[in-house]
Chain A
Amino acid sequence: MNPSVTDGMVSKGHVDDATPGSLRFLVTSFVSGLLFASGLVLSGMTRPSKIVGFFDFSRGLASWDPSLAFVMAGAMAVYVPVWLLVKKRERPLFDLRFHLPTRRAIDPKLVTGALLFGVGWGISGFCPGPALVSLGALSKAGIPMVGGMVLGIVGFHTLEKWRGAKVARAPQVRD
C-alpha cells in the first residue's frame, strides 16, 4: 500500500469532519446493515456450531467444516476490487472524505485484544455481527451474548476513561 495515497484520504479530524445527515447517507447505512445481516444468515454464520465446526479439527478432514473460509473468500472477492477503486478516489459518493483506520502499529494492545476476542469467539461461536442478528431473531443464545458484549464494550470504554487515556488519536475510527 502506498502510504502517501492513503494518508491523503485519511480523516484527520478537520472541521469538515461532521457526519452528513443526508437521507441517502442514512439509508445506505441501514441498507448495508440489512444486507450484511442477510449475508450472514445465508452463509450459515448465524449458527455458532458452524464457527465451532470450522475451528474443530479433532474429527479429521472429512468432517471439518471450512464454510467460514468460503464466507471470507466471497466477501473479499467483492471488497478487494472496490478497495482498489476507492484508493483512486478523492471522496466517497455521499460524504466529503473517507474515514479509514489511522493506526498502523502492531502493538500488545492489538494482540491482547484479538486474543481475548478469539477466546470469546471460540467459546460462543458468535462474533459481533451474527450476535446482533441473532438478537433480532430473539434467539436464546443471542440475547445473553449481546448482553455480555454490551457490558464488555461499555466496560472497556469506562476503563479507558478512568485511566485518563486521552483520546488524542484523532477521530476514533476503528477497524
Chain B
Amino acid sequence: MRAVFWKEVKSYFYSPIAYVLIGMFTLISSIMFWPNLLSGYGEFNGNLGSMGYILIFLVPILTMRIIAEDRKNGTEVLLLTSPINLGGVVLGKYFAALSVFLMMILVSFIYPIILVIFGASITPQIVGGYAGLILLGASFISVGIFASSLTENQVIASIISFVALLIIWIADGIGGMVGGFTAKILYWFSLLSRYEDFNRGILSLSAVVYYLSFISVFLFVTIMIIERRRWSQR
C-alpha cells in the first residue's frame, strides 16, 4: 500500500495536475472570499459551503486517471501480478488522492487566519465546518475512485463521477420537492444534511461513522469491480 501511495502522490506532483487543481481551488475560493474582505464580514461558514460545491467539479479531475490509467497503459498487470493485496492498491491510491485534497484544504486555512488577523475569532462552527468539508471531500473522492474503476477512459470516468456527485448534491433538494417517503430515504442517505450539521458546529459521531462507512462501501465496491473484471475478462 505504501509503495502505491507514494508512487501516486509523486505522479500527482510530477504531472501538473496537482498544481492545477490546488491552484484552481485556491483561485475560486479566493474569489468567493473577496466579499468577506470588502465588507468586513466575519462569517466564514458560507465560504466553506461553497468550497464543498467547488469540490463537485474538482474531485472528478483529481480521481479520473487513478485506476483508469493503469488499465489503459497495461500497468494494471504489474499491480495484479505483484505479491500485494488488491485492497492495499486501492487504499494506496485513495490516500494519495486524499492527500492532494488535504493540501488544497491546508491552503484554504489562509482565509480564517486572515479573518483572525482582522479581529474575528475561530468559532466552533468554523472548526466543525472544516471537519465536515474534509469528510465530504473524502467521500467524494471515494465516489471518484469508484467511477475511475468502471472505465479505461479518463474523460468518461470524470463525467461519471461528476454526474454522481451532482446527484448527491441535489438529492436533498429533490427530496424537499417530492416530499413523503422518498424524501425520508434521500435525507437518510444524504451526505449534505450531515455536512450542514457540522457547519452549525455540531460534531456528531454518527455522522462521522456515516461518512467513513460511505467511503468504505465505495472503496469495497471498487475492489469488487476490479476483481470481477479479472474473472470475467473477454
A binds B: no
Partner-B contacts on A (CB < 8 A): none
